[in-house]
Chain A
Amino acid sequence: MELALAEETLARWQFGITTVYHFLFVPLTISLATLVALLQTAWVRTGKDVYLRATKFWGKLFLINIAMGVVTGILQEFQFGMNWSDYSRFVGDVFGAPLAFEALIAFFFESTFIGLWIFGWDKLPKRIHLATIWMVAIGTVLSAYFILAANSWMQHPVGYRINEESGRAELTDFLQVLTQNTAVAQFAHTITAAFLVGGAFMVGISAYHLMRRRHVAVMRTSLRVGLITLVAAGMLTAASGDRLAKIMYEQQPMKMAAAEALWDTEGPAPFSLFAIGDVDAGHNVVAVEVPGLLSFLAHDNFSDPVPGINDTQAAMEAEYGPGDYRPNIPVAYWSFRWMIGFGMASLALGVAGLWLTRRRFWLSERLRTGSEEVPRLALTRDRELGEGLTRWYWRLAFATMAFPLIANAWGWIFTETGRQPWVVYGVLQTSAGVSPSVSQGEVITSMTVYTLLYAALAVVEVKLLAKYVKAGPPELTDADRNPPTRIGGDHRDPDKPMAFSY
């Protein structure tokens, strides 16, 4: 079966669907691993029940989430070979190594220690058990680094040469692939954005319970951890995003021009707030702009010129020959805005929350709350938010849970579609990367199967999360408070049930 579509269209859609879906679970996994590890560390150090209950509550949600992240990641490892065999042949010498190391170093770490953490509560002394969740957290971050180094090489290929005889890219400097500024900046941006997701997740769920005055002690602590994470990660995401954008202005001017719908080179260049463009004519019909701001974002001053789409197109034709080197401009423009908009909205909510729920700073005695009370949202020293507004804040905090996830998804859509028509920027076009031996019928089959399967699993996962969110943190038992002192578990009662079984 062959449809009247460009060869790469179906394979691209499949990659888009499966990767965006996979990445719904990844940032939460990365951030929750560390946040759960921090909560468990707090318990090990202080012995306070509230931290152990929080560890178990967030740990459970973390496990429900990581299961999806792990299984949807299996597909990613094989998709390059299945749908993009010519791409794989071309880049394998460069791109394969970070992927192999990701599995060998990071995945083994994650997957082995997660088993120890899940089943290890009654098998490991508490400090060793704590170490296992830190190992998982380290594994998730290492994994991110390797895969982002690989992706950065597609964004900005370095440390390679083209073998004229075989027509393939060959690695010449692996260290450069791992340490180039694109990789460092993408890593910083992606990791901080991941913590934005985890922070908002904690804030949202804590707000859900606090609004109902349930599980107050645990949720109050969690809210605090979540808000601090959200605000810190939000600011760092913005800073790292700014850095990444400056790098992209140098390395992929077309992507950034498309992000701004900046048709012609301008200096000073304005930042676009809203635009409706005419792609064929090459200009905007409607444009709302802030003068000079784009020059500032690209160059740190308000006057330097920023190259526009039309001029970049001409320059690329001169370099690479005739062709259309423009990505889908409306997608680039709007995805860039959704990314920033949703990300910064969650930061704003975090800043507001941190202020409203402050414990002592500029707060009268009357409005201060104890560790087992729902925090009162204090606007000024003596003035509390009204009951209605308080409810609205909690509700908004709950809804904001989704914002960083949406921002993450749009960010990936932006950076990947913005690189088109290239799969390896300036080196290999996407249309040259697909599998010649795979029919469109086969791609449609696999795409249908994955989409239906993923949709069904999404329903299952969200319902399960909702169930465990509603149930709240568990009560602790004596066994929970007294972990074993020897590896493999204490030998008091050979028939004692396991602390946890599948």
Chain B
Amino acid sequence: MAEIGISEMTIGVSSQGVEDYSESIRVEVLQNLSQTLDEEVAKVKTSLAQAWTGESEQVFEELLDKQVTVIKEDMESEYNDLNKKLVNLIGYYKNQDKKLAETMMGGSN
């Protein structure tokens, strides 16, 4: 049983560590930022209600909501891209380990 962990390594990867890292970025990018976006846009709408009313104002709010949705979707896409890269990263390390094993097996034959 290995007694070395990622914290003692100088080169290596921890699947669980990458998962935790990815989750912390997800929470920051998608959850906290998205929540702040909703809160701030709600403030804008409250302020807007004091200033403007009419069909054109309703269209303005609809466009604002659409823009917020676009921002959230784009942020989610960015996060998904990042997550894929991190998963690929785990793959690189694992392949490296596997190739080393194959090389050693080949060397022993």
Q: Do A and B bind each other?
A: no
By a beta-carbon cutoff of 8 Å, the part of chain A in contact with chain B is none
> Which B residues contact A (CB, under 8 angstroms)?
none
